[in-house]
């Protein structure tokens, strides 16, 4: 299909200093949990973005010196020449597809403890480090400032030798970067020419920008990444001061990459922001400089992208999370296939790759992080190994993904679900307002399946074992999901707690169905991810009195890894939710729950109308077990395999269910041994990449 006329503006080339980007799609620097530790995994992931049409593809932040050692995070390093092979590999993968390769050089200052290098951290002034374990950063003197400028120059020269087209000077994301620390009064208490007035606090940033231009600017583009607001009021960077900073430096970089800080605000999840939410903060920048401007906003709609360009907000459409969910967004728009974009749901599971230090995953894109390790490509898949027919029982995230991937392999697929619509747990959970945008998981897959002639979908079709056998499909995938347990077994309780008044217990499924749990409700969260707090928020917005209890030291603790915890804390308190931490359910009686302190066992009684345990789930695998007990009948009906997938096999996040479904489809009758598809990176050496 031809590109839509209105979208052609997105494919205009844009000049960035001495370089030219072939279109307006720009993968901004983003962390990935791969970096220097898994370099082939990282490079292949970036290369797929370039193949998908992104005109600029950047690294994550890259430390320039061991005094900026961010261990245990496996981010990129450019400490000396021994790091060059990793960068050369990434650059080659990106440039192979005609994209510009960008690198974001950084010194993290007092935001790191230098656990591995054991060097004393440095900062504009003496201060506790961000991850303080009684470690403090020392105040930089003039010789330190001179050294930092040298490190940045040497980093830029190495980056140029590695082949990068675009080199960043990075002053954003709050406390994360030394250059931003110099800009902020709360970190910069100096009384010399690098502190005090705004002009003085900008001095080091200006010097390093100029140094970088002088060192590599004749053949590399120089970008400036800057956070225009920290959303902290008078305590942080505000747009009024940012306007002056941009005015001072307006024409010095070749490109402005602008956002808000800190990272939890910049990459705010869909639970707390809409597409393009940063526009109000960053729109002044393009009016202040003649240089091109890139910004982000979880852009997935080409019409929204065009609007940003035509209204003079941005020159480039920046993408991190959207480029993870669908690396081929540009190609799909260019080929008139915008309806096939796999839109980011804004769940921020990808950010946990950085915070937990493992290769990132994506709820929407199960191939993310598997491009090198398993050879999975987001748009290419091996064709069917036979003309076998496949039956999938269950239309949740695992079943839908399996059906879609199998249809892409050209298998004849039948998918049946007992409900009136496909979607499974996705439809249940997205009935909660905070999680509404996650419905894209099922919407994308049900739409794509509707375009396939080799897929038959049946709803309100609860198949039993005998019916499945009679259908005679060669392969059967059981994706019947799971349900939430009511015995309070979870991460804290390892044995059941029986309720003396079982009618007090209300399950999450009952909330999804719209049942009324009463006026005063306890949500007991021993799952620690998103659902407990989302149910509490949903009920509080409906006017209920909600008590949220957790045995953990804070609510929804795992959402720290998705950058949501602070926002959740604020939202629930604003809604009047009562929060009780460090307590577990001891007993459930009529109209009350007894809580026990997890440390010393002291009890407190809380009067409620009902309690909702969000603890652990039980697989719904009875159908599988029955079929497995009738294996002697399989061959008579032409059945070669029956396999559990998704939550039916092992409950987990939606991303795990999608991955399970995709893995099943990839491996079915595969020509490659699936056990061999787990390559490791133990042998990455110079000349072997």
pLDDT in tens, 606-647: 999 999 999 999 999 999 999 999 999 999 999 999 999 999
Which residue reads 């903060």 in tokens?
281
3-state secondary structure of 56: strand
The arithmetic mean of pLDDT across residues 262-290, rounded, is 94
Question: What does the alpha-carbon distance between residue 616 and residue 626 come to, in Å, rounded to a whole number?
Answer: 24
pLDDT for position 674: 63
Q: Which of 30, 65, 173, 475 is catalytic?
A: 173
Q: Which of 26, 170, 180, 281 is catalytic?
A: 170
Specify the pairing of strand 603-607 against strand 592-597: antiparallel
DSSP line for 424-463: THHHHHTTSGGGGGGGHHHHHHHHHHHT-TTEEEESS---
Q: What percent of the chain has pLDDT over 70?
A: 98
pLDDT at residue 325 above 70?
yes
pLDDT at residue 332 above 60?
yes
Q: Is the pTM of this model over 0.75?
A: yes
Q: Which of 266, 326, 417, 527 is catalytic?
A: 266
**Cα torsion through 674, 678, 683, 688, rounded to 10:** 60
pLDDT in tens, 130-150: 876 788 999 999 999 999 999
The arithmetic mean of pLDDT across residues 660-675, rounded, is 87
pLDDT for position 686: 45
pLDDT in tens, 44-98: 999 999 999 999 999 999 999 999 999 999 999 999 999 999 999 999 999 999 9
pLDDT in tens, 576-591: 999 999 999 999 999 9
Q: Does residue 251 contact residue 293 with C-beta atoms inside 8 Å?
A: no
Phi/psi at 605 (5° precision): -105, 130
Assign 233 a pLDDT band (cuts: 50, 70, 90): confident
Annotated catalytic residue 220: no
Dig out the tokens for 51 from the structure.
């193949």
Annotated catalytic residue 444: no
pLDDT for position 131: 75
Residues whose CB is less than 8 angstroms from the CB of residue 659 and which lie 6 or more positions away in sequence, other chains included: 361, 366
pLDDT for position 235: 83
Question: What does the alpha-carbon distance between residue 82 and residue 75 come to, in Å, rounded to a whole number?
Answer: 15
Annotated catalytic residue 303: no
Residues whose CB is less than 8 angstroms from the CB of residue 132 and which lie 6 or more positions away in sequence, other chains included: 113
Question: What does the alpha-carbon distance between residue 501 and residue 518 come to, in Å, rounded to a whole number?
Answer: 15
What domains are there in the chain, each with its CATH number? 5-356 (3.20.20.70), 389-481+620-674 (3.40.50.720), 488-617 (3.50.50.60)
pLDDT in tens, 367-388: 999 999 999 999 999 999 899 9
How many residues are recorded in the chain?
A: 689
Annotated catalytic residue 31: yes
Q: Does residue 578 contact residue 278 with C-beta atoms inside 8 Å?
A: no
Q: Which of 31, 62, 344, 350 is catalytic?
A: 31
pLDDT for position 620: 97
How far apart, in Å, are the Cα atoms of 410 and each of 233, 376, 378, 505? Answer: 56, 17, 16, 46
């Amino acid at each position: 299909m031809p590109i839509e006329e209105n979208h052609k503006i997105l494919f205009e080339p844009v000049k960035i200093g001495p370089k030219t980007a072939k279109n307006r799609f720009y993968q901004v620097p983003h962390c990935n949990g791969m970096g220097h530790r898994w370099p082939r995994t990282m490079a292949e992931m970036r290369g797929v973005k370039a193949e998908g049409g992104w005109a600029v593809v950047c690294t994550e932040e890259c430390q320039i010196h061991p005094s900026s050692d961010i261990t245990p995070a496996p981010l990129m390093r450019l400490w000396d020449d021994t790091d060059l092979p990793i960068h050369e590999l990434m650059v080659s993968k990106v440039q192979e597809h005609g994209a510009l390769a960008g690198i974001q050089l950084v010194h993290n200052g007092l935001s790191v403890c230098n656990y591995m290098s054991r060097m004393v951290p440095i900062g504009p002034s003496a201060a506790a480090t961000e991850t303080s374990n009684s470690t403090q950063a020392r105040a930089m003197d003039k010789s330190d400032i001179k050294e930092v400028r040298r490190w940045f120059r040497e980093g830029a020269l190495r980056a140029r030798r590695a082949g990068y087209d675009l080199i960043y000077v990075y002053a954003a994301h709050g406390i994360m970067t030394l250059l931003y620390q110099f800009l902020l009064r709360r970190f910069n208490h100096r009384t010399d020419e690098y502190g005090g007035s705004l002009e003085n606090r900008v001095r080091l940033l200006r010097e390093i920008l100029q140094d970088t231009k002088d060192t590599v600017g004749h053949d590399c583009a120089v970008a400036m990444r800057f956070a225009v607001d920290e959303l902290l009021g008078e305590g942080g960077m505000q747009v009024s001061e940012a306007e002056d900073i941009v005015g001072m430096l307006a024409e010095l970089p070749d490109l402005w990459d602008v956002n808000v800080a800190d990272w939890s605000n910049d990459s705010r999840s869909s639970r707390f922001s809409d597409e393009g939410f940063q526009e109000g903060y960053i729109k002044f920048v393009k009016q202040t400089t003649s240089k091109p401007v890139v910004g982000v906003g979880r852009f997935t709609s080409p019409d929204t992208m065009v609007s940003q360009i035509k209204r003079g907000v941005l020159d480039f459409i920046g993408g991190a999370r959207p480029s993870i969910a669908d690396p081929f967004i540009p190609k799909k728009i260019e080929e008139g296939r915008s309806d096939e974009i796999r839109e980011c749901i804004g769940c921020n599971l990808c950010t946990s790759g950085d915070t937990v230090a493992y290769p990132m995953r994506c709820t929407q894109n199960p191939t993310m992080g598997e491009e090198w390790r398993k050879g999975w490509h987001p748009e290419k898949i091996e064709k069917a190994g036979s003309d076998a027919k496949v039956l999938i029982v269950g239309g949740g995230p695992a079943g839908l993904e399996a059906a879609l991937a199998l249809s892409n392999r050209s298998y004849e697929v039948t998918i049946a679900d007992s409900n009136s619509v496909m979607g499974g747990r996705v439809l249940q959970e997205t009935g909660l307002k905070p999680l509404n945008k996650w419905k894209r998981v099922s919407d994308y897959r049900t739409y794509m399946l509707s375009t396939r002639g080799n897929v038959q979908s049946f709803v309100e079709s609860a198949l039993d074992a005998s019916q499945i056998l009679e259908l005679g499909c060669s392969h059967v995938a059981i994706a019947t999901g799971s349900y939430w347990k009511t015995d309070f077994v979870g991460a804290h309780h390892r044995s059941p707690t029986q309720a003396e008044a079982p009618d007090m217990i209300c399950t999450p499924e009952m909330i999804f169905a719209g049942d009324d749990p009463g006026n005063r409700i306890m949500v007991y969260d021993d799952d620690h991810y998103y659902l407990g707090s989302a149910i509490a928020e949903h009920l509080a917005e409906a006017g209920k009195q909600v008590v949220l209890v957790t045995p953990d030291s804070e609510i929804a603790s795992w959402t720290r890894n998705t950058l949501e915890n602070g926002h959740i804390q604020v939202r629930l308190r604003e809604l009047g939710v009562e929060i009780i931490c460090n307590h577990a359910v001891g007993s459930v009686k009529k109209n009350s729950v007894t809580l026990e302190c997890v440390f010393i066992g002291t009890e407190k009684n809380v009067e409620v109308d009902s309690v909702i345990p969000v603890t652990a789930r039980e697989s719904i695998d009875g159908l599988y077990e029955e079929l497995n007990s009738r294996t002697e009948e399989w061959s008579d009906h032409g059945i070669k395999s029956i396999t559990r997938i998704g939550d039916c096999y092992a409950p987990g996040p939606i991303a795990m269910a999608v991955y399970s479904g995709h893995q099943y489809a990839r491996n079915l009758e595969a020509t490659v041994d699936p056990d061999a598809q787990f390559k490791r990176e133990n042998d990455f050496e110079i000349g072997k990449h």
